[in-house]
Amino acid sequence: MMLNTNKLLLFKKTRWRLASWYIGGISLVLGILGFGVYEAIIHAHRITVEKELKTISETLHDNFEIILEKPEQLSDDVVKFLPSLCRLAHPCPPINNISHYRFGTIEQGQYYLQIFTLSNNLIALSRNYPEGLSLKKQSKEQIILKDNQGIRYLQKSHLLHTNTGKPWGYLQVSRSLEDFDDYLRMVALILLLGLPLAIILIGISSWILTGLAMKPVSQSYAQIQQFTGDAAHELRTPLAAILATIESTLMMPNLTEEEARNTLEIVRRQNQRLSTLVADLLMLSRLDWQLSTVPTMALKQEKICLNDLISDLVEEVAYLAVSSEVTLTSEIRVDYSLEIIGNIEQIYRLLFNLVVNGIQYTPTGGQVKIILAQHNKSAVIEVQDTGIGIDDKEVPHIFERFYRIDKGRSRERGCSGLGLSIAKGIVLAHNGTIQVKSNVGEGSLFTVQLPILG
């Protein structure tokens, strides 16, 4: 229980760490990107406003210079040209319909004009000139000012000349940046609200994704734990039997030759069981290594004639079938040599495990048959028995390591519970497939398909 708790804490801590790094990295990228977008918007709008102001001010400048005659004196033509322009020494003329005026944009309150003499004295300004905005002649050609309400204005100055080319005075054109600042505030608000929301969504996504990424790791860890526990249990059983046998023998005051032989036989049997288990574990370890790191073509490969291999297997396993009072037969359904490319030792072990598994789970008087056929470009090997069969609930688990259907029967026969796991590993290492069909009380059919040569 403590081990499982520690495992959960370990994976939860690792998951939090991965999610935090992911959130931090993405948040940093989004922050930099958002700042860059904001600066790009500011730059683009500033350039647009400056170009717009420059165009308006230069147009006014050019039109003024056509009608200016005497330096520092505003003629009536200027007032007619811009009716909303108020001369300080005269009352502002009434405006009945500003939509007919030539510069409607100026009259609508977005642009404001100031006219100064050469001595920097203000002599005229726009009718709707903002309250609190500086009335002084600015020394800089372009400057940003604020009025009493905090509204910013971009102001541009031009030197005016008379129509004869003499210096006349100065024209200052101011453009309200209120709409520009409102837009930037809206963009900033969107970014300030959008970025945290995006980070929250990223956080949820990263937690889900790290969970999905950690799931196979957690499953592998659990499988390793289960495998280690099962292996330790399987190794402990014969070791405990050996120790108990030796201790009971040592407690005997007088040991006869028959008793000594019995003791040695028990030790030999348990030692054989240990050797088989260790060999199976090493085989599984090699198969795992093959499947995860080594391409199939890099293994020791050779041509394998399945016809001959099955015939040899039946002869060599016949003694086990006879001792179990089970009939073992083979059926070759092709009239030619069926060859594959693979590791002959592993293919032999595959067939051996399936046949021995069938014999062990087939009661006295039953039959085990191994069939060789071809389907399309695959060699089909079937191992059919009339044994006890497998329940539908057990079928998905029979290829798991140390899994036994009948634990008592398996231990009695010295089975490690690794035979079918090894068989599946060999099949996968040779790019094949293995399937099983079974009915309780009727028997099982294991079908292996391996790609044939050519």
For 398-413, the DSSP string reads TTSTT--SSHHHHHHT
Rounded Cα distance between 52 and 142, Å, is: 13
**What's at 394, amino acid-wise?**
E
Task: Examine the pLDDT at 100 and tell me if it is beyond 50.
Answer: no
With a CB cutoff of 8 Å and minimum separation 6, the contacts of 353 are 419, 420, 422, 423
Report the first-to-last Cα separation within the chain, whole angstroms. 54
Three-state secondary-structure class, residue 341: strand
> CB 137: neighbour CB atoms within 10 A?
17
With a CB cutoff of 8 Å and minimum separation 6, the contacts of 213 are 18
Structure confidence by residue, pLDDT tens digits, 193-208: 888 898 888 888 888 8
Confidence of residue 409 (pLDDT cuts 50, 70, 90): very low
Structure confidence by residue, pLDDT tens digits, 292-325: 665 544 557 789 999 999 999 999 999 889 999 9
- Altogether, the residues listed in the chain come to a count of 454
Residue 101: per-residue pLDDT: 44
Percent of the chain past pLDDT 90, that is, above it, reads 23
**What's at 337, amino acid-wise?**
S
Structure confidence by residue, pLDDT tens digits, 346-391: 899 899 999 998 998 899 999 999 999 999 899 999 999 999 888 8
Rounded Cα distance between 59 and 157, Å, is: 13
Is the CB of residue 422 less than 8 Å from the CB of residue 287? Answer: yes
Question: Long-range contacts for 265-272 (Cβ within 8 Å, ≥24 apart)?
Answer: 266/241, 266/242, 267/242, 269/414, 270/238, 270/239, 270/241, 270/242, 270/245, 271/238, 271/242, 272/414
Rounded Cα distance between 420 and 411, Å, is: 15
Is the CB of residue 360 less than 8 Å from the CB of residue 435? Answer: no
Task: Examine the pLDDT at 437 and tell me if it is beyond 50.
Answer: yes
DSSP 389: -
Confidence of residue 95 (pLDDT cuts 50, 70, 90): low
Q: Where in the chain is the domain with CATH 3.30.565.10?
A: 295-451
With a CB cutoff of 8 Å and minimum separation 6, the contacts of 174 are 111, 112, 113, 114, 130, 133, 145, 153, 154, 155, 156
**Which single residue is written with the structure tokens 């510069």?**
103
Percent of the chain past pLDDT 70, that is, above it, reads 87
> CB 412: neighbour CB atoms within 10 A?
10
Mean pLDDT of 220-246: 74
Burial of 89 (0-12, 13-18, 19+ CB in 10 A): exposed
Residue 374: per-residue pLDDT: 92
Considering only residues 296 and 167, tell me which one the structure prediction assigns the higher pLDDT.
Answer: 167
Mean pLDDT of 9-28: 84
- Give Rg (Cα) of the chain: 47
The pTM of the whole model exceeds 0.85: no
Residue 288: per-residue pLDDT: 72
- 295-451: which CATH topology? Heat Shock Protein 90 (3.30.565)
Mean pLDDT of 384-401: 86
